[in-house]
Amino acid sequence: MPHTKRRRLVTTVVAVSLGATALAACGSSDDSKADSGPVSLTYWAWAPGMDKVVDLWNKGEGKQDQITVTVKKQASGDTLVTKILTAHKAKNGPDLVQAEYQALPTLVSNDAVADISKNVGDAKSKFADGVWQQVTLGTDAVYAVPQDIGPMMFYYRADLFKKYGLTVPTTWDEFASTARALKKKAPDTDLTTFSANDSGLFAGLAQQAGAKWWTTSGDKWKVAINDAATQKVAKFWGGLVKEGAIDNQPMYTPAWNKALNTGKQIAWVSAVWAPGTLTTAAPDTKGKWAMAPLPQWSASEDVTGSWGGSSTAVTTDSKHQEAAAKFAAWLNTDGDALNALAKESGIYPASSSAQLSGAFSNPPEYFSNQADFYTEAAKIAKTTAPSAWGPNVNVAYTSFNDAFGTAAKNKSDFVTALNTMQDATVADMKKQGFEVSQ
C-alpha cells in the first residue's frame, strides 16, 4: 500500500505559544534574496525512488540554474516530524521536506516551514481547489506544494454484486440497504467492515460529510471533532455495526485479507491507492473488482474525502528558500517529474493534468477489466472536499483508535467515542498552550 496511507503525527510535539495569530506566520521567502552562483539543497523524503526523480532535475533544469538537490532518505510519519522539529530547534533543518498534509499545521505552528507563496508561480492552477487548500491552511500563505493525494472511492466485487443481485450504492442510505440485503441473502458474508485501526479513513469520511475539525479565528483555535457532520458519520457506521449489518473487525490483518480474498467481504471504502493493497491482500480476486465514486449523503451531492497524501515544503532553516521553492514546484508540476514519481515512487499525483497522462493512461493491472479506472479517478479527485487539520492531529488520531476501537469491539455508542475524541484533543491543545474557543 502507498507510503502515505497510515501515517500519524508524532505523539509528542514541541509545545508552542502562539502570538498574534493561531497559525503564526512562518519565515517568508520574501526575505530570501535571489541566489547567485551554485546552490546545494538537501531534501528529506521517504518516498521510494525519490533520488532517481531528483536526478532528472540535477541533469536538466537544476543544472541550468546551478541548483543541485540531494535526497536524504528518512523514516516517515511520526519519526520524520519529530526529526524536523528537533532539527529546527537546533537551526539545522534541511532545505526541503516531504510533509503529509495533516502534519503541516504542526510544522507551521512551530515555525518550521516557510511561506513560499511568492516563489511558486502559477502552481495553484495545477491542482483542484480542495487539494490546494491543504497547503494554504485556508490562508493567503502557501506552506508547501501538493505532491500526491488519496481521493476516496468505493470498491466492490462486481461478480458477487451480480450474483447476489445487488446494485452499486450511490448514497449512504443505499449503502446501508445494500449491506442489509446482502446479510439476508448470505448471512456469513459482509458488505464491508468498520475498522477502528485507521483514523485516516474516518477523518476522510467526516471530511466528505462537511466536517471541519479545526478552524481558527484570530489567535484562537476552535475544535469541532464532534460537530454535526461527524456525528452523522459516527451514528451511521455505529448503527450498522450494532445491528450486525457489517463486520466490526480491523483492516490489514490476516483475517481481513482472507475475507477479501475469499469473498466473505465484498466491498471496501478506500482511496485511489487501493489496487496496490488488493494486489497483496486478495491476489486470487484480480480482475473481479470494480471502482465507483463514494456514496453521497444526498443524491444531489458530488464530493469525496481524502485519505492520505503528502506535499513538498521548504523549511525556514533553508538559506535558499527561493531556489528550494522553485524545485518544489518543478517536482510536483513538471510532466517528466510526475511521470517519474509515478514510476519510481508509486504515487497518485496531486496535479490534475498528470492524473490522465503517462503512467495513468492505462488502468492498474489489478483493475485491467476497468479501462476507465484513472479517467474516473481523475473526475473523483476534482471533487475532493477541503480539509481542516490542526496542530495536534496525533492526539485526535490516538484517541480515535482507543475510543472507537472499544466501541467497535463492544458495538457500543460511536457518538460517545466521538465525544471522548473531542475532549482529549481540546485538553491536549490547552495543555500545549493554545488558545481554544468554546
pLDDT at 36: 61
More confident residue, 400 or 34: 400
Number of alpha carbons in the 13 Å side-chain half-sphere of residue 141? 19
pLDDT at 87: 93
CB atoms within 10 A of CB 170: 15
Q: CA 328 to CA 315: how far, in whole Å?
A: 12
pLDDT band, very low/low/confident/very high, at 16 (cuts 50, 70, 90): very low
CA distances from 269 to 101, 172, 379 (A): 21, 11, 17
pLDDT at 32: 44
Average pLDDT on 45-66 reads 93
pLDDT at 81: 87
Question: In this predicted model, what pLDDT tens digit does every residue of 221-234 receive, in sequence order?
Answer: 999 999 999 999 99
Q: Is the pLDDT reported for residue 10 higher than 60? A: no
Nearest partner of 98 among 48, 171, 61, 140, judged by Cα: 48
pTM for the full predicted model: 0.89
Nearest partner of 41 among 386, 337, 362, 331, judged by Cα: 331
Say if residues 21 and 219 touch (Cβ distance below 8 Å): yes
Question: In this predicted model, what pLDDT tens digit does every residue of 113-130 receive, in sequence order?
Answer: 999 999 998 999 999 998
pLDDT at 22: 56
β-bridge mates for residue 97, sequence order? 44, 313
Share of the chain above pLDDT 70, in %: 91
Q: Give the helix/strand (H/E) hosting 409.
A: helix 393-410
Q: Is the pLDDT reported for residue 67 higher than 60? A: yes
Residue showing cell 482507543? 402
pLDDT at 14: 40
Our CA angle for 129, 135, 136, nearest 5°, is: 80
Question: In this predicted model, what pLDDT tens digit does every residue of 180-223 receive, in sequence order?
Answer: 999 999 999 999 999 998 899 999 999 999 999 999 888 899 99
